[in-house]
Amino acid sequence: MIVVMEPGASEAQIERVSEYLVKHGFKINLNRGDVLTVIAAIGDKRLINPHSISSLEGVHDVKLIQEPYKMASKNAKDKDTIIEFKNGVKIGGDAKPVLMVGPCSVEKDYEGLLKVAIAAKEMGCQFLRGGAFKPRTSPYDFQGLEEKGLQYLAKASKETGLLVVTEVMDTLDIPLISKYADILQVGARNMQNFKLLKALGKIKKPVMLKRGPAATIKEFLLAAEHIMYNGNQNVILCERGIKSIDSDFTRNTLDIAAIPIIRKYSHLPIVVDPSHGTGRRYLIEPMGKAALIAGAHGLMFEVHHDPDNASSDGAQSLSIEQFREVAKSFNKLIGRIDYDNRNSKN
Amino acid sequence: MIVVMEPGASEAQIERVSEYLVKHGFKINLNRGDVLTVIAAIGDKRLINPHSISSLEGVHDVKLIQEPYKMASKNAKDKDTIIEFKNGVKIGGDAKPVLMVGPCSVEKDYEGLLKVAIAAKEMGCQFLRGGAFKPRTSPYDFQGLEEKGLQYLAKASKETGLLVVTEVMDTLDIPLISKYADILQVGARNMQNFKLLKALGKIKKPVMLKRGPAATIKEFLLAAEHIMYNGNQNVILCERGIKSIDSDFTRNTLDIAAIPIIRKYSHLPIVVDPSHGTGRRYLIEPMGKAALIAGAHGLMFEVHHDPDNASSDGAQSLSIEQFREVAKSFNKLIGRIDYDNRNSKN
Amino acid sequence: MIVVMEPGASEAQIERVSEYLVKHGFKINLNRGDVLTVIAAIGDKRLINPHSISSLEGVHDVKLIQEPYKMASKNAKDKDTIIEFKNGVKIGGDAKPVLMVGPCSVEKDYEGLLKVAIAAKEMGCQFLRGGAFKPRTSPYDFQGLEEKGLQYLAKASKETGLLVVTEVMDTLDIPLISKYADILQVGARNMQNFKLLKALGKIKKPVMLKRGPAATIKEFLLAAEHIMYNGNQNVILCERGIKSIDSDFTRNTLDIAAIPIIRKYSHLPIVVDPSHGTGRRYLIEPMGKAALIAGAHGLMFEVHHDPDNASSDGAQSLSIEQFREVAKSFNKLIGRIDYDNRNSKN
Amino acid sequence: MIVVMEPGASEAQIERVSEYLVKHGFKINLNRGDVLTVIAAIGDKRLINPHSISSLEGVHDVKLIQEPYKMASKNAKDKDTIIEFKNGVKIGGDAKPVLMVGPCSVEKDYEGLLKVAIAAKEMGCQFLRGGAFKPRTSPYDFQGLEEKGLQYLAKASKETGLLVVTEVMDTLDIPLISKYADILQVGARNMQNFKLLKALGKIKKPVMLKRGPAATIKEFLLAAEHIMYNGNQNVILCERGIKSIDSDFTRNTLDIAAIPIIRKYSHLPIVVDPSHGTGRRYLIEPMGKAALIAGAHGLMFEVHHDPDNASSDGAQSLSIEQFREVAKSFNKLIGRIDYDNRNSKN
């Protein structure tokens, strides 16, 4: 931590800050300049609140020099986290990128869901996604099928062999959803629902944490830290776009740079959702490819057997026919990435 | 709803969209122009998803022309909502703006809290605020005293006559917190925790909903709508700043314009938090005054008996001494606003 | 400057960075911690580029600890800059806040402009504003009357005694505009047109610099620095709203906190434009009052004799009748602020 | 244009708005609903200002339904614009993506520039970039070599056969820069310097327009429209990142989705700058690849013969050695894209 004193800070103020830091276990080093004094405080003490220091008299600014997340950081763990599922599918590290597809919401028509699942299996996807509990900005929107939706997912999974990803919205629903899902997803709007994160830290199943609509990467990694700190190391991150100054053509600005950044600073896998990340069907293919080539460990996107009549987010869902084309294009690229990875190692 | 067709949309596409709208209960009106065709669809049907329409072939764009919130809208209710508490204090409409003060977190030192409460009472404040359950961006920060914190708040309330505002973070804690609090606060990070909003719709106690760090005013009112739609009309909104492109000098950008906007479009009371809204102690006074003169129904800000040793957010808390000065300045302004209101009515 | 080395930085890397800093005139201080090494580099050397340092091997991050602006900073000048005009009107410091009004663009109808100017004078305003050269986002919008517009402003100024504020868009137009204007305004979109800023540094007339639509306060002050560094100290800043995640109800988010921040960190006067800052007529009054009470040295807003037929920005202009009401309300508040200022000094 | 009337708008108000629209050449269509009345106004009249309409009494909102840009729009021109240079190099449409490299600023050391140019030629790049006139946020930063810089670029171009891209900052410099450059670049901070855009509309040389740091895609295309409307159709767009809520790890958020969006809605070529778009050297390769696969017509990025001593932006420049690796990776991808394009056409 670097404490920058005000230009006119008095000796007494400098001493008081120094003592305060020492009292809290820091090793300090004073740098007196012509214009201002800087106190460098070194230590691995993460429990002090920098805001308390910036409120001391004479302090101009406090700058952190260590990442506030620890377990999610690459410094904590040399090797990338690779999560392996019962059927051998892997996410993370150099494992082949995965594809997670399905409707935004699981709906009453099971046959429709099954059609999507069968096509997904045929096209080489590994996961079936679909919301049974739906967070909706408006109370007038469809709120989800709840347990029935979970049963449909499980049934389609049994028929196809796909793994299941579905969202958990409340602490109370964790046991129920854990029975059916292979990955429990935390939605973007719940990224900082700390009670939920803590509770998910107590289970063993992998958790996929979506980035909040206005979360910085630091806040995103800190949210993952809440889960890890409470005991569950199987966290998958999911970039899904952030709010920006432009929303004429897309719902969000998909932050592709987050992928190489997270791969540099964290060992956790990072998956990308080009459906929510753009809100436009025609952008799924180019943005999915951009994500893959930038290093994403997988893609999650929406496919619906009848998008025009989807109960949510039809505009960003692919029809099954469109999906086949897009999946073909993704598979080709994944094949090349895989080929290059293998070759670069020789 | 206005459906704008693509420039080259075919007759068949136009017909299909028209039929779709009629089937969903809309009265439609076709406008064929030289360049493009526009379908105006009128009706009070809020349950259709505009995204489903924008995914129909030939549709270029769908524009909503009605606010998606209904119960929170001024159109739904002519008169401003005024919430009255057991001791006669009122929030909303033309009631005199209220002041809500206290520490960010309730801490182990009860005497400190009491000192703040006594000063608050002396300076004419109506509410004591303080967090017993704390949402923290980092798992390494102080997480709150939980029920003991609630008991402290209740005790200080009993000794001073102040009403209590405190945060609820989880559905499970609602009954417990309801026993102690006069207002249940929903934190900014939970603004779209829809399970929590629904559950708060089932109780009778007033709920203060803080604006999410990146929520638009529309999303903010829709979040209120979730509570109201589920049965609780006693919602108080709280503006607390949004994330913006500048965070060098403040934690958030306090959106003062949200106050007159919400007062124009909604009947709900709107309170402002200049502590979180700026993150800087010296900005509480000027921004609090700006909020009051722009029409805020109250201010909530942080006061700590020993800010240098606060367990959270010391940098944005006032000491008791500073608080007295700031409260004096707020009271003077409130007195003038009150005087002008009374005079403008004659 | 604080240079934070990577956790695994080698001795050679640390030495190289240290040498580099010393070579550039810095006094350095090494802090070796268990986890990482930090080099504090102190000096008043503003000419080094921190990016050059962050590209040295082994460097993790570089943090500046001094404001990059110098002449605009309060550290450079104890007393607030107060700009005095030929007729004794002052802007800045504790001078009574000024009002600058007029149409967005000067139009062909001189009588209309004169009506506005006469009303402005009657209501105690000091400045007539109006664009003769107009920056327009679209080439299809009205582009301004150019010199004829300047002549109209000068004529209306002569008849009423108001001072003139008008925008300069190009280096070439400075001599012409200087003949007519008392303040040369730099539009928000030109805030970082450095050629223009430099050229304005060579003149003596006051320059009013509008904040860019996405400029941080630091960038805003640095833009002012370009003018001051080139010789012209008479700079007035103008906050006019920034782009944010919400544009449903306003064109921009008026950053009221920028006022007390700039008054704390700079000696330059700061004026606020609630017309462009909101884009809505009904917000001019509440936001103008919020700006004044937060410390603004003046307000600039749009008044048009016939807003429905204005050639630009009618929606954010007041009619003359509306203006009289709003000005009355501003004058009342200015009177109270003035009264409080005088009393607080005794 | 869609004019939405207030819920309680009177007949007289509706009539007045209708008349106003008809007077301005619109064909109108009234839609009276239970709750509100909507007037659809169709016509190709771009000269009316929607703000004038929204200021009429009884108007709630005005929604545009046509893109405000015309010449930049795909509707105006079926075929993609392909710009061809004297040596046969092409930018746009299905032409092979180009690479533009060089230092941020041209510096005194000509030999350094030449080394970069030779390596660029060897690696198959088509353009040499470098700033002779530099826009700098701070007046204390290096401001450029001016004409001498242009001469250096021309000399290096002559020795290698590379084409030259360099920035123009002021109307006055256009003739001089036109003598030396093959593409005149407009910097991000000048994207809305309309005087400059107009003047560039009068020349024939291609102009590369960089997206403003907070410009929406609509504003970006409108800025291009200013150049085209004034006569120059040879406009190349350049995405270089926008400001967002996160700047911890990057200088800007590179908006990769802008590429497929612009390719869908405009016929103009779109190039991407991953150096400024991220501000981090290690992100140039992944983000450059993401841009290419998403459809970029070229990449522009910074290469310096000695980044540690660059006079600007060293942290985002590649050394020549690093450049060779990155260029190899780009060329491999460009080869595959080219291969796929050719094959998909059969």
From B255, B200, B254, B257, select the one nearest B223 (Cα to Cα): B200
**Exposure on the CB side of residue B259, measured as CA atoms within 13 A:** 33
Residues of C with Cβ-Cβ distance to A38 under 8 angstroms: 2, 40, 42, 65
Residue D304, min C-alpha distance to chain B (Å): 30
Of D34, D40, D75, the CB nearest to B40: D40
User: Quick one: pLDDT band at residue B146, thresholds 50, 70, 90?
Assistant: confident
Instruction: With CB atoms and an 8 Å threshold, state whether A290 touches D286.
Output: no
Alpha helices in chain A (DSSP H): 11-23, 50-54, 110-122, 147-160, 174-180, 194-201, 217-229, 258-265, 274-278, 284-293, 320-345
Least confident piece of the model among A182-191, D29-38, D288-297: D29-38
Say which amino acid occupies B183. I
What subunits touch chain C, counting only 3 or more CB pairs under 8 A? A, B, D
Please write the tens of the pLDDT for every residue from B184-194: 999 999 999 99
Token output for C336: 């109270």
pLDDT of res. D199 = 95
CB A287 within 8 A of CB A281: no
Is pLDDT of A222 > 90? yes
Calculate the CA B31 to chain-centre distance: 40
Please write the tens of the pLDDT for every residue from D301-337: 999 998 877 766 666 789 999 999 999 999 999 999 9
Which of B46, B105, B191, B195 is the mutation pick for testing A, counting most A CBs within 10 A? Answer: B195
Q: Are strands D235-239 and D270-272 parallel, antiparallel or unpaired?
A: parallel
pLDDT of res. B53 = 79
User: Quick one: pLDDT band at residue B46, thresholds 50, 70, 90?
Assistant: low
Q: What distance in Å separates the CA atoms of residue C158 and residue D153, rounded to the nearest whole number?
A: 53
Q: How far apart are the first and last CA of chain B?
A: 43
Q: What are phi and psi of B337, to 5 degrees?
A: -60, -45
pLDDT of res. D228 = 96
CB B77 within 8 A of CB D67: no
Token output for C295: 């410390």
Please write the tens of the pLDDT for every residue from C124-143: 999 999 999 877 777 777 77
Query: Which residues, in sequence order, are CB contacts of C15 under 8 Å at separation 6+?
Result: none
Which of A211, A245, A264 is the mutation pick for testing D, counting most D CBs within 10 A? Answer: A245
Least confident piece of the model among A243-257, C171-185, D117-131: A243-257
User: Quick one: pLDDT band at residue B44, thresholds 50, 70, 90?
Assistant: low
Q: Is D138 at the interface with chain C, CB within 8 A?
A: yes
CB pairs under 8 A between A and B: 139
Instruction: With CB atoms and an 8 Å threshold, state whether A256 touches D254.
Output: yes
From A285, A245, A237, select the one nearest A92 (Cα to Cα): A237
% of chain A at pLDDT higher than 70: 93
pLDDT of res. B21 = 87
What's the average model confidence in pLDDT over B321-344?
Answer: 92
Of C31, C61, C75, the CB nearest to A7: C75
pLDDT of res. C45 = 54
Please write the tens of the pLDDT for every residue from A226-245: 999 999 999 999 999 999 88
Least confident piece of the model among A243-257, B221-235, C309-323: C309-323
List C-alpha distances in Å: C28 to A173, A340, C12, C41: 56, 45, 16, 4
pLDDT of res. B38 = 80
Please write the tens of the pLDDT for every residue from D151-169: 999 999 999 999 999 999 9
pLDDT of res. B314 = 62
Least confident piece of the model among B101-105, B191-195, D68-72: D68-72
pLDDT of res. C143 = 74
Q: B42: which DSSP letter?
A: E
Q: From start to end of B92-162, where are the E strands?
A: 98-102, 127-129
List C-alpha distances in Å: D121 to A155, A268, B142, D128, D314: 59, 39, 58, 9, 22
Q: What distance in Å separates the CA atoms of residue D188 and residue D180, rounded to the nearest whole number?
A: 21
pLDDT of res. C341 = 83
3-state secondary structure (DSSP) of residue C11: helix
User: Quick one: pLDDT band at residue B293, thresholds 50, 70, 90?
Assistant: very high
Least confident piece of the model among A27-36, C233-242, C268-277, D178-187: A27-36
CB C266 within 8 A of CB C234: no
Residue B271's DSSP bridge partners are B238, B298
Is pLDDT of D293 > 90? yes
CB A234 within 8 A of CB A206: yes
Q: Report the mean per-residue pLDDT for chain B.
A: 89
Instruction: With CB atoms and an 8 Å threshold, state whether A27 touches C33.
Output: yes
Residue D125, min C-alpha distance to chain B (Å): 35
Is pLDDT of A44 > 80? no
Say how many residues make up chain A.
346
Please write the tens of the pLDDT for every residue from B4-25: 888 778 899 999 899 888 888 8
Residues of C with Cβ-Cβ distance to B242 under 8 angstroms: 244-246, 253
Residues of D with Cβ-Cβ distance to C247 under 8 angstroms: none
pLDDT of res. A24 = 80
What subunits touch chain B, counting only 3 or more CB pairs under 8 A? A, C, D
What subunits touch chain A, counting only 3 or more CB pairs under 8 A? B, C, D
Q: D105: which DSSP letter?
A: B
Residue C47, min C-alpha distance to chain D (Å): 6
Of B4, B36, B40, the CB nearest to D38: B40
Of B36, B40, B243, the CB nearest to D31: B40
3-state secondary structure (DSSP) of residue C200: helix
Is pLDDT of A180 > 90? yes
Instruction: With CB atoms and an 8 Å threshold, state whether D286 touches A294.
Output: yes
Q: Report the mean per-residue pLDDT for chain A.
A: 89
A 197-226 residues inside an 8 A Cβ radius of B = 212-214, 219, 222-223, 225-226
Residues of A with Cβ-Cβ distance to D256 under 8 angstroms: 254, 256, 287, 290
Please write the tens of the pLDDT for every residue from A270-290: 999 999 999 888 999 999 999
Q: Looking at per-residue confidence, does B212 or A310 come out higher?
A: B212
% of chain D at pLDDT higher than 90: 63
Token output for D19: 């008349």
What's the average model confidence in pLDDT over C183-197?
Answer: 94
Q: What distance in Å separates the CA atoms of residue D90 and residue B229, rounded to the nearest whole number?
A: 59
The segment with the largest mean pLDDT, out of C199-208, C274-283, D30-39, D134-143, is C199-208
CB D272 within 8 A of CB D300: yes
Calculate the CA A195 to chain-centre distance: 17
Q: Is D265 at the interface with chain A, CB within 8 A?
A: yes
Please tell me the pTM assigned to this model.
0.88
C 22-81 residues inside an 8 A Cβ radius of B = none
Of A242, A244, A287, the CB nearest to D256: A287
Residue A301's DSSP bridge partners are A101
User: Quick one: pLDDT band at residue B48, thresholds 50, 70, 90?
Assistant: low
D 225-244 residues inside an 8 A Cβ radius of C = 225-226, 229-230, 243
Q: C2: which DSSP letter?
A: E
pLDDT of res. A45 = 54
Residues of A with Cβ-Cβ distance to C242 under 8 angstroms: none
What subunits touch chain D, counting only 3 or more CB pairs under 8 A? A, B, C
Token output for A234: 């199987």
B/e letters for C126-143, b = 16+ CB within 10 Å, e = fewer, are: bbbbbbbbbbbbbbbbbb
* Number of DSSP helices (H) and strands (E) in chain B, helices first: 11, 14
What's the average model confidence in pLDDT over C86-97?
Answer: 96
Residue C161, min C-alpha distance to chain B (Å): 32
Instruction: With CB atoms and an 8 Å threshold, state whether D294 touches A294.
Output: no
3-state secondary structure (DSSP) of residue A61: strand
Q: How far apart are the first and last CA of chain A?
A: 43
Instruction: With CB atoms and an 8 Å threshold, state whether C242 touches B243.
Output: no
Which of B74, B239, B249 is the mutation pick for testing C, counting most C CBs within 10 A? Answer: B249
List C-alpha distances in Å: A20 to A40, A53, A315, B103, D5: 13, 8, 56, 21, 62
Angle ∠(C273,C278,C279) on CA atoms, nearest 5: 100
Token output for A70: 């620890």
**Exposure on the CB side of residue B2, measured as CA atoms within 13 A:** 28
What's the average model confidence in pLDDT over C103-119?
Answer: 94
Query: Which residues, in sequence order, are CB contacts of C335 under 8 Å at separation 6+?
Result: none
Please write the tens of the pLDDT for every residue from D5-28: 887 788 999 998 998 888 888 888
Say which amino acid occupies A320. I
Is pLDDT of A117 > 80? yes
Q: What are phi and psi of A2, to 5 degrees?
A: -115, 120
Angle ∠(C234,C236,C241) on CA atoms, nearest 5: 160
Please write the tens of the pLDDT for every residue from D87-128: 999 999 999 999 999 998 998 899 999 999 999 999 999 999
Is pLDDT of B320 > 70? yes
CB B256 within 8 A of CB B229: no
Compute how many other C-beta atoms are within 10 angstroms of the C-beta atom of residue C173. Answer: 20
Alpha helices in A161-273 (DSSP H): 174-180, 194-201, 217-229, 258-265
